[in-house]
Amino acid sequence: MINNDFKRFDEPVTDYFELEAWNQGEIYRGEEYLEFDNGDLVLNKEDTVMEYLSDHYDFTLKLLDDVAIRKVAGE
C-alpha cells in the first residue's frame, strides 16, 4: 500500500522538461496535459486535475453548469 502512495512522486521516463504547469509544476515531454481557455496547463493526472478544480472553484462551477461540458462528459 505504501508503494502505491509514492508512485505519484515517480519521475517520468524521460527527463526532458517541456512546459511549466499552472502551479509552477513541471510537465515533461510525452506527458499528457490539459490546456484551459485561460492558458493554464494542468498535468492530466487525477490528483493534479482535482487540485486545479478545487483551487478554481468558480471556474469549476461554471464548467458543471455548462451543458456542452456535460455532453462531452457523457451525461
pTM: 0.61
Q: What is the pLDDT of residues 5-44, one digit of tens each?
A: 666 666 656 578 888 898 888 898 889 999 987 889 999 9
What's the average model confidence in pLDDT over 41-67?
Answer: 86
17 compared with 54, residue with greater pLDDT: 54
Burial annotation 41-69 (CB, 10 A radius, 16+ → b, else e): bbbeeeebeebbeeebeeeeeeeeeeeee
